[in-house]
Homo-oligomer: A and B are copies of this chain.
């Protein structure tokens, strides 16, 4: 047996001997552990609403009202099947609630966002205050607050659920509790949270009702849309992202939730976006109009055409280019605030 073989043999023997001691050689894996650039296992994906909706409706039949709280179709990243996540750190799903249904009250440390996709008249109650849902509304369920929901609509209501479930699983910090009451007592009139904190004013006795999460838990679409339109008239177009606003926690100026940032952007008719990439993977929900996104990573290419209520994901460090002939409005969310808190956020804008 010649020298190289011996060296090889020596190493393999070492591996075998130390394996039972829970020891592993770094030199065999270093390259994978410390990559030159992010090599996410996630892949881009598109969920066409007209393909997803029939399954939602079938779920409406298959899942009883009693189980309504769970009637969600998880948008699973094609490369991460079985892990219930759309990026490594984020969960996304489409939830259906039918007329008359009521989902019991519970709470958990996971932060949740709801973005209303279809239908009006359902409601969610957070910490004793109800909010009626309308398409395009962005609603927060702050960490560890009691919440339930139900529907007084006359048709199906569908919303996008975005949660930090994989993140809390990764950090082993998930807690949950079911309420003894089926649905919680309503203690405040609808809109009172917004009244307190939504008008660039705040109660003098400052209380941060939801800790690091925005005291406004409902951002109505009509207001956000108005902001977008006025900004479009008043400001130069961003060559990469069109007209883009981030939702703000008015108590801090930061993101609405400590783990998730949310955005609303408008691509004017004829927009031809330049490419950019960032370390935070983002999930998009198409609110209005049509457009397309070209995504590339190394040698790989993806191209998605999207319309209203479609959803798609752009993974970390994938270059995306947005286009729209007719113009469109996009809602999106990502884990950017965590990247910022950890000082690991990186972004690259190509021209």
Contact = CB atoms under 8 A, between A and B. Distances in A.
B73 A18 contact: yes
Interface in A1-36: 7, 10-11, 14, 17-18, 21-27, 29-30, 33-36
Contacts of A165: 33-34
A47 B297 CA distance: 41
Given A59-B25, A341-B258, A219 B205 contact: no
A325 B51 CA distance: 63
Nearest to A129: B234
Interface string A214-256: 1010010001101100110111001001001111111111000
A170 B88 contact: yes
Contacts of A51: 21
Contacts of A26: 70-74, 84, 93
Contacts of A226: 199
A338 B339 contact: no
Nearest to A41: B172
Contact of A171 (B58, B198, B227, B342): B342
A199 B173 contact: no
A75 B246 contact: no
A89 interface: yes
Contacts of A34: 108, 110, 165, 174, 176
Interface residues of A, number: 130
A63 interface: yes
Contact of A234 (B14, B189, B250): B189
Interface stretch (A117-125, A150-158, A285-293, A343-351): A343-351
Contacts of A108: 34
Contacts of A304: none
Contacts of A281: 172
Nearest to A69: B30
A327 B350 CA distance: 54
Nearest to A192: B234
Contact of A344 (B109, B195, B234, B251): B109
User: Which of A199, A244, A245 is packed against the most chain B CB atoms within 10 Å?
Assistant: A199
Contacts of A264: 201
B338 A171 contact: yes
Contacts of A35: 174-176
Given A55-B14, A200-B219, A344 B252 contact: no
A179 interface: no
A231 B21 contact: no
Nearest to A249: B253
Contacts of A343: 143, 211-213, 258
A61 interface: yes
B176 A203 contact: no
A62 B168 CA distance: 40
Given A63-B27, A171-B335, A263-B204, A21 B344 contact: no
Given A173-B345, A250-B253, 15 more contacts: A10-B62, A17-B55, A38-B173, A87-B172, A173-B346, A191-B234, A192-B230, A192-B231, A192-B234, A196-B235, A200-B248, A201-B248, A203-B231, A252-B253, A259-B344
14 contacts: A10-B58, A21-B52, A23-B74, A34-B176, A36-B175, A36-B176, A38-B172, A89-B171, A191-B234, A198-B200, A202-B248, A203-B231, A251-B253, A341-B341
